[in-house]
Amino acid sequence: MKRVAAVLFTAILVLAALPASPASADSTQITIATFNASLNREASGQLVDDLSTPDNQQARDVAEIIQRTDADIILINEFDHTDDEAAVDLFREHYLAVSQNGAPAIAYPYAWTGPVNTGVPSGFDLNRDGEVGGPDDALGFGFFPGQYGMVVYSKYPILEDQVRTFQNFLWADMPGALLPTVPGTDEGWYSDEALEVMPLSSKIHADVPVDVDGTTIHVLAAHPTPPSFDGEEQRNMRRNHDEIRLWADYVEGNAGYLYDDAGSTGGLDAGAEFVIVGDYNADPHDGDSWPGAIDLLLGSSRVVDPLPTSAGAVEAAALQGGANDDHVADHALDTADFADDPAPGNLRVDYVLPSVGALEVADAGVFWPTTDDELFRLTGEFPFPTSDHRLVWVELLIEGEPEPSPTPTPTPSASPTEHPGA
């Protein structure tokens, strides 16, 4: 391991049963992570206020987790978006670039973020409660535009002119979409007029290509809606399934129907290297997602499942009991601690899934320390000091001797809007 082994993970993590592959002279070693960090706030602008000084304790703890993992590329879910992208710079400058509790400071010269559908008014009564307005009638559940957004930080150049986003792709335009109906009838839950504005992505799906020493890795980032909070119509459960299906179709050559926000159509080129990352709100065995939803990715012939594990998840499931006692899945694979909710219990919902091909899995894990570990203070018990989700990381070897591509020189940020990736 390049950096992760230097950060006490031997004591913290129970790693998946994967053969360790030493880096060869013609391979590049890289760590990619995802973290639903719960850096969302109750009001627009509040996250920027919280990050404007280096003193917000939750942000400090989140930054320390990231520093101790030292990923080369990381997707952070639930990071409120603003059009000026100020929070992206503030978190990088005031927290990541400053040592937290002795953890090595980490520099990410590149970043990408984009607008999301959460909190954007639809103008329709999407939840059929007789009123129009509020978070449940937004294009994606949220109290204000930008809530529950996302950001990708990278040590390697992001190919910004090649980024593809799918914020505006309409759910009704997916062939065979699991659109909900009024229970007991054939009537569509959403009116024809509502379907003309209803996107599939509850936030945004983004293909963010990163140049890693001449090899382009497509970071496929998303955060599908939670499948809970449904009535009999199961509208969130169905949408979650189809949001997951979008990436499955995208990498498997089944996305001829798909158009991006720039008007280009189709999916990922055959043979392209990718890593699917994010909180997908779906467990392969337990919880309340649509049956088989996450298996669209885990069972894909184009995807490798590194099976990251932790000792902390096993301990938490045993200590908390409840719904965990009835789970089918191995608790070591859990990535989210839902102990404060009697159901569904702790689940595996956060994923880093590389493509089959030149990306070889060398190691993987979940940052979930056991209670006797000093770093347990960063994850803790409900109410959590950081998030109810845990950071998931995968270490990859990129085989071969790629031809180096021109590497742009990062421009230091003079203001929150001038950072690379803006």
Give mean pLDDT, residues 122-129. 97
- CA 254, 260, 266 angle in degrees (round to 5)? 25
Classify 49 as helix, strand or coil: helix
Residue 403 has pLDDT above 50, yes or no: no
Query: Which residues, 6 or more positions from 372, have their beta carbon under 8 angstroms from its beta carbon?
Result: none
Round to whole Å and give the CA distance between 288 and 237. Answer: 8
Q: Is residue 121 part of a domain?
A: yes
**Token pair of 229 as six digits:** 């909070």
Q: Is residue 412 part of a domain?
A: no
As a whole number, the mean pLDDT across the chain is: 90
Residue whose entry in the numeric block shows the structure tokens 């720039």: 262
Per-residue pLDDT tens over the stretch 331-343: 999 999 997 777 8
R_g of the chain, CA atoms, integer Å:
20
Of the CA atoms within 13 Å of residue 146, those in its CB half-sphere come to 22
- Cβ burial, residue 183 (10 Å; 0-12/13-18/19+): exposed
Which of the four pLDDT bands, split at 50, 70 and 90, describes residue 230?
A: confident
Cα–Cα distances in angstroms (integers) from residue 314 to residues 42, 305, 325, 333, 359, in the given order: 32, 19, 11, 8, 29
Q: Is residue 406 part of a domain?
A: no
Residue whose entry in the numeric block shows the structure tokens 């391979």: 27
Phi, psi of 245, rounded to the nearest 5 degrees: -60, -30
281: nearest Cα among 269, 268, 290: 290
Give mean pLDDT, residues 85-96. 98
pLDDT computed for residue 15 by the predictor: 34
Q: Is residue 411 part of a domain?
A: no
Which of the four pLDDT bands, split at 50, 70 and 90, describes residue 411?
A: very low
Which of the four pLDDT bands, split at 50, 70 and 90, describes residue 206?
A: very high
Q: Is residue 405 part of a domain?
A: no
Read off the pTM. Answer: 0.89
Residue 409 has pLDDT above 70, yes or no: no
Phi-psi region of 381 (alpha: psi -120 to 50; beta: other; left: phi over 0): beta
pLDDT computed for residue 20 by the predictor: 40
Residue 22 has pLDDT above 60, yes or no: no
**Token pair of 90 as six digits:** 């503030």
Q: Which H or E run includes 244?
A: helix 235-252
The one-letter amino acid at 78: E
**Token pair of 149 as six digits:** 């957004």
Give mean pLDDT, residues 227-238. 93
Round to whole Å and give the CA distance between 322 and 343. Answer: 8
User: Structurally, how many domains does the chain consist of?
Assistant: 1
Residue 17 has pLDDT above 50, yes or no: no
Beta carbons of 353 and 274 less than 8 angstroms apart: no
pLDDT computed for residue 25 by the predictor: 53
DSSP notation for 254-270: --TT-B-TTS-BS-PPT
Round to whole Å and give the CA distance between 354 and 272. Answer: 11
Per-residue pLDDT tens over the stretch 151-163: 999 999 999 999 9
Q: Is residue 417 part of a domain?
A: no
CATH of residue 384:
3.60.10.10
Beta carbons of 386 and 378 less than 8 angstroms apart: yes
End-to-end CA distance of the chain: 31
Phi, psi of 76, rounded to the nearest 5 degrees: -110, 115
Cα–Cα distances in angstroms (integers) from residue 264 to residues 47, 247, 255, in the given order: 34, 16, 12
pLDDT computed for residue 117 by the predictor: 98
Q: Is residue 410 part of a domain?
A: no
Q: Which domain holds residue 166?
A: 4-398
Per-residue pLDDT tens over the stretch 248-286: 999 999 999 999 999 999 999 999 999 999 999 999 999
Q: Is residue 404 part of a domain?
A: no
